[in-house]
């Protein structure tokens, strides 16, 4: 019996139109009525997660934001708040600038950008959050350490940059692709699975009590760690191989199907 359901948003709960289907919404309300502890685990910031979940009508849920850097209880308490050291964040921003990438930083639940371009506007629309334009991100993160730095790039170059960044920063930060055009930099201890584990311990539960479902590289460790890990049909093969079962795609109510089958 799984007593905790950890659910990714983009590519999992949300379809490609960035909406929650009636079937998926009904499945989540079913879990709440059943007493399952709901956890929404995302690379998004807290406000962005709330904008997706609140319209569904779920009353109590945990949020894991920034790929595991922040964990928020149903009453709004932060029980985990991991940040990137300012000196490391500065080096990351300088590195990404040299590569010509659009860069933005998440500081104290505010999103900061240097350029109002197609990337910042598209992200704002995608995540349903606003942003603050600043002259220099380094000035911002020098005063307040960020929870996440996000870089954008299109095409195959992003993977090459990811590999180069991983070599350059080694164990200083965790780097993961959360979307085909997104490269996330977070505290090295930030993992969705660690956030779920922290929540489970509050109830005296272990990973065997956890059902988790996701679609992208930032979900792979969560799926592998959980008692039941479900990958979406739209997941990369590497993510599917980390899962116990593969459901239908995010456009075919794969979340609702998995909930019906296992919960």
CATH label of the domain that carries residue 152: 3.30.1240.10
At residue 261, the 3 state secondary structure works out as: helix
For 44-61, how does the pLDDT look when each residue is reduced to its tens digit (9 = 90+)?
A: 999 999 999 999 999 999
Is there a single domain that holds both residue 183 and residue 195?
no
Distance CA 48, CA 26 (A): 21
Predicted pLDDT at 101: 92
Is 89:146 a contact under the CB 8 Å cutoff?
Answer: yes
Is there a single domain that holds both residue 58 and residue 110?
no
Which band of pLDDT confidence, cut at 50, 70 and 90, is reported for residue 181?
confident
Predicted pLDDT at 164: 94
Question: Which of 154, 187, 220 represents a domain boundary (last residue)?
Answer: 187
Residues comprising the chain, all counted = 263
- Rounded average pLDDT over 20-31: 98
Is there a single domain that holds both residue 101 and residue 172?
yes
Is there a single domain that holds both residue 74 and residue 198?
yes
For 111-128, how does the pLDDT look when each residue is reduced to its tens digit (9 = 90+)?
A: 999 988 888 888 888 889
Q: In sequence order, what E strands does 75-234 have?
A: 78-81, 102-107, 110-113, 132-133, 148-152, 173-179, 182-187, 210-214, 228-231
Question: Which of 171, 187, 203 represents a domain boundary (last residue)?
Answer: 187
Domain count, the chain: 2
CATH number at residue 16: 3.40.50.1000
Is there a single domain that holds both residue 52 and residue 182?
no
Predicted pLDDT at 30: 98
Is there a single domain that holds both residue 221 and residue 237?
yes
Question: Across the chain, what does the average pLDDT equal?
Answer: 96
Is there a single domain that holds both residue 104 and residue 197?
no
Domain range enclosing 39: 4-81+190-262
Question: Which of 162, 187, 212 represents a domain boundary (last residue)?
Answer: 187
Is there a single domain that holds both residue 152 and residue 64?
no
Is there a single domain that holds both residue 32 and residue 49?
yes
Closest C-alpha to 61, from 110, 4, 120 = 4
């Amino acid at each position: 019996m799984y007593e905790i359901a950890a659910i990714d948003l983009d590519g999992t709960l949300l379809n490609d139109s960035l909406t929650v289907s009636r079937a998926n919404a009904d499945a989540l309300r079913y879990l709440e009525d059943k007493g399952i502890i709901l956890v929404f685990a995302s690379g998004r910031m807290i406000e962005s997660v709330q904008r997706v979940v609140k319209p569904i009508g779920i009353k109590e849920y945990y949020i894991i934001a920034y790929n595991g850097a922040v964990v928020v209880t149903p009453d709004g308490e932060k029980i985990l708040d991991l940040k990137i050291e300012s000196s490391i964040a500065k080096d990351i921003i300088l590195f990404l600038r040299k590569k010509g990438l659009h860069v933005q930083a998440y500081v104290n639940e505010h999103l900061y950008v240097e350029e109002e371009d197609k990337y910042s506007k598209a992200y704002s629309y995608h995540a349903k959050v606003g942003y603050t334009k600043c002259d220099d991100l380094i000035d911002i993160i020098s005063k307040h350490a960020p929870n996440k730095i996000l870089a954008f790039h299109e095409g195959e170059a992003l993977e090459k940059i990811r590999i180069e960044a991983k070599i350059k920063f080694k164990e200083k930060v965790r780097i993961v692709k959360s979307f085909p055009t997104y490269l996330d930099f977070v505290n090295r201890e930030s993992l969705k699975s660690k956030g779920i584990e922290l929540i489970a311990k509050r109830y005296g539960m272990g990973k065997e009590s956890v059902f988790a479902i996701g679609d992208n590289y930032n979900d792979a460790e969560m799926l592998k760690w959980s008692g039941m890990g479900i990958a979406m049909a739209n997941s990369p093969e590497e993510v599917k191989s980390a899962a116990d079962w593969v459901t239908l795609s995010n456009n075919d109510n794969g979340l609702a199907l998995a909930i019906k089958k296992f919960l």
